[in-house]
Amino acid sequence: MSKKNLPWEIKRGYPLPLGVTTLSEGVNFALFSRNASTVTLVLESACQEGSETRYELQLTPSEHKTGDVWHILLETHECDFTYGYRVDSDKPASGSCFTHADILIDPYCHALSPRAWGTRAQYGKAPCCKIISHDFDWQDDRPLKTPLSETIIYELHIRGFTKQLAENQAAAGSYEGLMKQIPYLKQLGVTAVELMPITEFDENDNDFVNPETGEKLKNFWGYNPVSFFALKSGYAIDPENHINEFKTLVRELHHANIEVILDIVYNHSGEGGYDGTTSSFRGIDNSVYYLLDPEDQSYLNFSGCGNTLNCNHPVVRSLIINSLRYWVIEMHVDGFRFDLASILGRDQDGNVLANPPMIEQIAEDPVLRDTKIIAEAWDAAGLYQVGSFSNDTRWGEWNGRFRDDVRAFMAGHGGMVSRLASRFAGSSDLYQASRRGPLSSINFLTSHDGFSLYDLVSYNRKHNLMNGENNRDGDNHNLSWNSGREGTPVSPKVEELRLRRIRSMLTILMFSQGVPMICAGDEFAKTQSGNNNAWCQDNPISWLDWQLMEHNRDLLRFFQLCIALRRNHPVFRRENFFATTDSSTPNVPEEIEWQYLTPGEQNWSADCHGLGVLIHGKRQHLSRDDDFFIMMNGNIEKKLHFIPPDVPPNNNNRSWSKIIDTAAVPPKDIIPRGTPLDSGIRSIRVANLAVVVLQSLPEVL
């Protein structure tokens, strides 16, 4: 296009920063592409009397390219642009996917054209990058910096959590809907929400259909990003105002002392394989952004989603770091959970690096030093790094071992007592050798991926037919047990056992060392009808049924009080592993003691299904607290009788009180001030698959 036909003057521009920058002299555009020979900036402007006009500005390499960066500056400050790029090459290198037809997303753009949930996306077909202002009244908002020792994480999906809010239908499925539920989160007692992906993705990119109705399914979860910067506009009441709506949510959560952690996906993109939609990275520089097989240039698929991002390429590392900084600086988020984070440790050939620069750079970045960083320490190709993801104490890890061992113990599996003890005490077998502590372990029973907690005790097998893949999808290794009958409805006896097991596992989670995470809705027994891979279900299978909150109010009360107990007692929130007496430390008093049924008697055999643990609150080297004796019975049918140890010495005027019995009928399942044990009682009955907790409370005179 001739410069004479343009409404603004054009200048050479600047190569940095990448993306769009508003300067005193105009608007600067900068795009990395090493292997392109032509780059065209495509603009759609509504400057002239509200009409939309498209301009295509081909950048001249001799004038508009510095190194591998293409750049141009427009002398304007007033126009409302939507933009994208055409990128092509007259001599494409091996592995290139250039085509002039695609109009590509700028990897550094901060917003895409807003659209309501479910409406058609134009990614790769039309200019959709927006130039935005970040003006917002943060009201002096500051990072909360909640210590990990005090953190309780609540994982949720924006749309699924809020879609069925009876009292706030106008806010259903939105950021504002979550804001309406802040009082509920406060009452529950969590300190952080972990939001499933909120960067832009195309929820319509799913080809599967409901086998009964033929209706096309959605990509509901959103683990298919088309941008690492742009916020999902479809989660806003008003998509045009989605950024301010999200910022308001963050600000109000902070006012309630609740942190915001983002589940972020850097291991792959929504472009999928070569048969997917070319929307950005593939068309800009495929061989730089992705891992390719050197022989046939096929994608190395360690993500299970068709492609794998080349995370340790310097250009990609810079993109990731800059996007993380953006979410911290502009959006005030408090931390990140990295999906399939083991991919961050692979080199360009897919090999596992000994000291991955990407993982180190995230931990050491000065802007990110106050944020929480949590790894899902595995990938879809079988690499499992729980306990060995990084030696840096900054990194926490989703502890899949904790999930599996607690599930197995409470489903009656043998050989689990010693494993359960390790998990309960903070997983020193995983973290102590690298000089990390129990707070490196993010403990959880369930997450978005897999059975809900109620389904875990209600189904022996997955029921995923509605996903349209003939039940082939989803994990087959769930360590679940249906408590005697598959699915619903069931007899009151079976239902009681299910709720008992839920309470038992929650008690173990809350009293174990590490950082607990619960999945939204588990606190009132949400169900997905046995679907353990509901990624495509934008319907009541995935939407929280808030009527269950009243129907299962006794279970919700148990969650609330269990969370409160953890928050009120530092003995459950240690930063270091327990001190135990051995030959090298003869003068160090034990802070934790294990037993089976009788004090001083331990049983680590494969056929043992019971574990007692005494935590000495008065011997904690960092704080002083009550003593607790916790009895866990993993037998499917057999009850156990534990003899509690004497209340530890130097604990004047105190005696044991029973505060939790997960087999008791609510509200006696949890009594915050406890029921004092009769002085004549020598043994405590612990029902099958139950947990009983004693606390040393002052004697009532």
Q: Alpha-carbon distance 43 to 10, whole Å?
A: 13
Cα 21 to Cα 10, 26, 31, 425: the distances in Å are 15, 8, 12, 50
CA distance 649 to 618: 10
Residue 150 catalytic?
no
**Among 143, 330, 120, residue whose Cα is nearest residue 243:** 330
Closest CA to 363 of 347, 375, 379: 375
Dihedral angle computed from the Cα positions of residues 490, 493, 498 and 503, in that order, rounded to the nearest 10 degrees: 150
What single DSSP character describes residue 647? P
Question: Do 552 and 503 contact (CB within 8 A), yes or no?
Answer: no
Between 492-511 and 417-424, two packed helices, what is the crossing angle to 10 degrees? 50
Q: Six-digit token pair at 103?
A: 């109009």
**Helix (H), strand (E) counts: the chain:** 15, 25
Angle at 531 between CA 525 and CA 537, to 5 degrees: 100
Q: Which of 44, 202, 339, 625 does the annotation list as catalytic?
A: 339
CB 54 within 8 A of CB 7: no
Separation of alpha carbons 332 and 329, rounded Å: 6
Which of these, 363, 309, 313, 361, lies nearest to 340 by C-alpha position?
Answer: 309
27 contact partners, CB below 8 Å, separation of at least 6:
20, 21, 73, 74, 76, 77, 81, 131
**Distance from C-alpha of 510 to C-alpha of 532, rounded to nearest angstrom:** 24
Biggest CA pair distance of the chain: 99
Active site residue 339: yes
Kindly state the DSSP code that residue 201 receives in the 8-state scheme: B
How far apart (Å, rounded) are the C-alpha atoms in residues 639 and 491?
A: 21
Cα separations in angstroms, 623 against 346, 393, 572, 573: 41, 22, 11, 10
How far apart (Å, rounded) are the C-alpha atoms in residues 57 and 5?
Answer: 11
CA pair distance 178, 165, nearest whole angstrom: 10
Residue 195: name the closest of 159, 233, 158, 237 by CA.
Answer: 158
Distance of CA 134 to the CA centre of its chain: 26
Q: How many residues does the chain have?
A: 701
Nearest CA-CA partner of 662 in 691, 630, 694: 691
DSSP states of 491-513 as a string?
-HHHHHHHHHHHHHHHHHHHHSS
Hunting for tokens 């009409």 — which residue is that?
51
- Residue 256 makes CB contacts below 8 A (sequence gap 6+) with 182, 185, 186
What are the DSSP E strand ranges found in 471-601? Answer: 515-519, 592-595
Q: Which residues, including other chains, have CB under 8 Å from residue 477's CB and lie 6 or more apart? A: none
Rounded Cα gap, residues 357 and 346, in angstroms = 10
The catalytic position among 376, 405, 455, 627 is: 376
**How far is it, in rounded angstroms, from Cα 142 to Cα 155?**
22
**Distance set, CA 285 to CA 20, 35, 586 (Å):** 19, 7, 62
Given a contact cutoff of 8 angstroms between Cβ atoms, the answer to whether 608 and 421 are in contact is: no
Give the catalytic positions in this structure. 339, 376
